[in-house]
Structure 1
Amino acid sequence: MLHEQIKTLRAARGLNQVELAKKLNVSKQSISNWENNNIQPSIEVLVKLARFFSVSTDYLLGLDTRLYLEVTSLHPEEIAHIQMLIDDLKGRTHHA
């Protein structure tokens, strides 16, 4: 599961393995090995991956399927707009 999560999150960001490796300060071979399920990243790197992709380590490990958006620095009105977009994308827009 971890190998699939890394590959999916990397692709969703539009990054190739070399680009992700540079951002995490690891080798391209490490990324390839993780994605091919040959080896597992260390706990330290797992935390780096979670921070980089803005997901929990539980999400990476397949223990939690929920995803979160970091909106701490946004104004309440901006957060409300994002929630409306999410509702629209889910197809369950609530009309006031």
Structure 2
Amino acid sequence: MRHNRIKELRTNQNIGVEKLSEKLNIPQSTLTRYENGNIEKGKLPIWQKLANHFNVSVDYLQGVDIENPSVTLKNDVPTEVIYKGKKYKVITNE
């Protein structure tokens, strides 16, 4: 069972399982199984819905691609990006 990044990304967005499942029209029990790694491969359309929501690749979401950045959000605004092991501050015009 491979570690996926669904819970990490979901909690970074401060969104609960119930709300995300409603938003993406995925049964809550299915989303929980994906998040907990209880579905080995799963269905690509569900992985794609999740990846699109989090704006990441399916590989990254599944824990395969380490090239995609990790983004830290504060009030839904990116504040920090970790890419290829290096930390970058996000500068905004606010």
Task: Note the alpha carbon deviations across 1:24-77, whole angstroms, 9 max, x for none.
Answer: 101111111112222253111111111110001111122212335xxxxxxxxx
The answer to whether structure 1 residue 90 and structure 2 residue 91 are counterparts is: no
Q: How many residues align?
A: 76
In structure 2, relative to structure 1, the CA distance for the partners of 1:90 and 1:22 (3 Å cut) is same
- Tell me the TM-score normalised to structure 1 length: 0.63
Percentage of pairs with the same residue: 32
Runs of 4+ in 1 over 6 A off after TM superposition: none
Q: Secondary structure at the match of 1:90?
A: strand
**Residues 6-85 of structure 1 mapped to structure 2, 5 A cutoff:** 6-39=6-39, 40-67=41-68
Where in structure 2 are there 5+ consecutive unaligned residues? Answer: 70-77, 90-94
Whose radius of gyration is greater, 1 or 2? Answer: 1
- Tell me the TM-score normalised to structure 2 length: 0.64
Q: Distance between the aligned counterparts of 2:61 and 2:33, measured in 1? A: 16
**Greater fraction strand:** 2
**Greater fraction helix:** 1
Task: Note the alpha carbon deviations across 1:75-95, whole angstroms, 9 max, x for none.
Answer: xxxxxxx9xx75xx9369xxx
